[in-house]
Amino acid sequence: MRRVLNVFQAILIAIWMGFCGLLGIVLVLLTWQQNRVMIFLAHYFWSPVICAISGVRVKVTGLENLDKKTPSIYVANHSSLYDIVAICRASPVPLFYIAKKELAKVPIVGQFMWLIGMIFIDRKNREKAMKSMEKAGQRIREGKNVISFPEGTRSKNGKIGVFKRGSFIIAKSQSIPIVPVAVKGAAEVLSAGSMGLRPGVIAVHFEKPIPPSFFEGKTEEEIAAYTRDVVVSRVEKMTI
């Protein structure tokens, strides 16, 4: 019975993804207001329906910590595809993702992501990856908030991995605040490598931004390690 339900849910989600992708393409071409289209689709339109189909409730804390007027790099732990769903539902600001380049090939969704201004990264090519991170810095200077998952891939053992330094190189070199984002419960809804959806609660907490003044005298690795510690500490305290 659970497997039949999961297949039905997957079909509904695929249809909804395609519809939202088409709608997003039309809205961007008509308005070219990428920030407004992104917050409308991600926060108010796409993620609520995905949550409803999946039986997921998102619990949000830390909104008082956000500075909506200052473009920042948001960094989050990553254990499930539902981290993205939960963060989109939780965030009151439009977030533009740093995504693996393979997603650009997904019909309709990939075209929308490219048109809206997402950043695609080639994780197998260090030089191209750094160029993508530089593009992320440019997006932020243009007034966009960028979010990345610095572990580089979804955790398969429940532990938060090492935060790679790419996002932190951009933050330090261009004096961009870092907003740590802690997510808990997403793997219980959909674990890495699984197709078995389960209803549940996903908690998202936005920490206070780490200001550029904190970066002085520190290496990118030290900034990354500190940010990871902030996220790990918060995840350990969170309840769902």
Say what angle helices 220-237 and 166-173 make with each other, to 10 degrees.
110
**Per-residue model confidence as pLDDT tens digits over 68-83:** 899 999 999 999 999 9
CA gap 153, 98 in Å, rounded: 12
CA gap 76, 102 in Å, rounded: 20
Count: domains in the chain:
1
What's the mean pLDDT in 225-232?
Answer: 97
pLDDT top residue among 98 and 62: 62
* CB neighbours of residue 140 within 10 Å: 21
pLDDT top residue among 102 and 158: 102
| Residue 103 lies in domain | 2-237
pLDDT top residue among 157 and 186: 186
CA gap 106, 108 in Å, rounded: 6
CATH code at 229?
A: 3.40.1130.10
* CB neighbours of residue 56 within 10 Å: 24
Strand, helix or coil at 95?
strand
Contact criterion met (CB below 8 Å) for 88 and 42? yes
Evaluate if residue 130 carries a pLDDT over 80: no
pTM given for the model: 0.91
Contact criterion met (CB below 8 Å) for 170 and 176? yes
User: Which pLDDT score is estimated for 59?
Assistant: 97
Picking from 17-26, 105-114, 155-164, which range would have the lowest pLDDT averaged per residue?
155-164
Say what angle helices 82-90 and 47-54 make with each other, to 10 degrees.
130
User: Which pLDDT score is estimated for 132?
Assistant: 75
**Per-residue model confidence as pLDDT tens digits over 142-180:** 889 999 999 987 777 778 999 998 889 989 988 999 999
Extract the tokens encoding 169: 């190189």
pLDDT top residue among 199 and 98: 199
One-letter identity of residue 146: V
Contact criterion met (CB below 8 Å) for 97 and 118? yes
